[in-house]
Amino acid sequence: MAGMVEGKVVVVTGAGRGIGRAIAMLMASHGARVVVNDIGASLGGEGSDQAPADEVAAEIRKAGGEAIANFDSVAGFASAGKIIQCAADTFGRIDCVVNNAGILRDVIFHKMTEADWDAVVSVMLKGAFNCSRHAADHFRRQESGCFIHMTSTSGLVGSMGQANYSAAKLGMVALSTSIAHDMARFNVRSNCIAPVAWTRMTQSIPAKDPAAQKRIEQRSQVTAEHNAPLAVFLASDAAREVNAQVFSVRKNEIFLMSQSRPLRSVHRGEGWTPESCAEHMLPAVKSWFVPLQRTADVFSWDSI
């Protein structure tokens, strides 16, 4: 029986561990030929280790699939080009890019350094642009292809101590939407997934109070593998009508997330002044304000 992505060539960045590994493995089990990209850096982005990517590629091949490890960085435009070229050189084409690579440098905003900001944004947001831009040339010529960008509820909803991470992840949603607009004429799709899983990233979040400890204990039951089926579906031809959407996955739950649209309008024929904004606009829209919330406030129930 043919798999959902039989014969397709898929690049998965950050595929040496966690969610990226799970996606790469399931893509291969459904017939994809996979470029397993990972520089093997620490959680904060330091160092390199070829073992994680090598091990995943070897495991795929042992199971009868096709895979090659790649160790180039997504953060540099030229090196990201080598990742995409690796797919073309090895398998003759490219059909899907999963922009999953990421690092964490969590710190409260008023203590965040420029280096903390630049490192995270370079890997995740610029990295997603880099890989997508290089793949776009191939997709345009062959008039097919798809992007899957791994965003986060830290950006969609909000989080403490993650201004760099949240900004990069929400930026990926805007990037995805722009790609969807620009490349729809070439039959190219672009969608986002906000995953939930117990990985080395979430393991690094400290339990500062009993409520946080409970959330961590519950999240530890949600494995990276729960996120892979949706990614494989989005890479398949069965998702040909799915474009510019944002999904979230929590264990056995899949959510279609809202995107910014007008909630309420107020009109004043004579125009507005600062005073009328205070006297008229504010009372009219205040009840529609989006509250300042974190992911745990929005997803207040345990994963099902």
Give the residue numbers marked as catalytic: 165
Question: What residues have CB less than 8 Å from 185, skipping those under 6 apart?
Answer: none
The candidate with the shortest Cα–Cα distance to 162, out of 172, 152, 173, is: 152
Starting from the edge strand earliest in sequence, which strands make up the sheet with 188-195, in order? 66-70, 33-37, 9-13, 96-99, 145-150, 188-195, 246-250, 253-256
Beta strands in the chain (DSSP E): 9-13, 33-37, 66-70, 96-99, 145-150, 188-195, 246-250, 253-256
Rounded to an integer, what distance in angstroms lies between the CA atom of residue 35 and that of residue 19? 15
Q: For the chain, what is the radius of gyration of the CA atoms?
A: 20
Rounded CA-CA distance 70/92 in Å is: 16
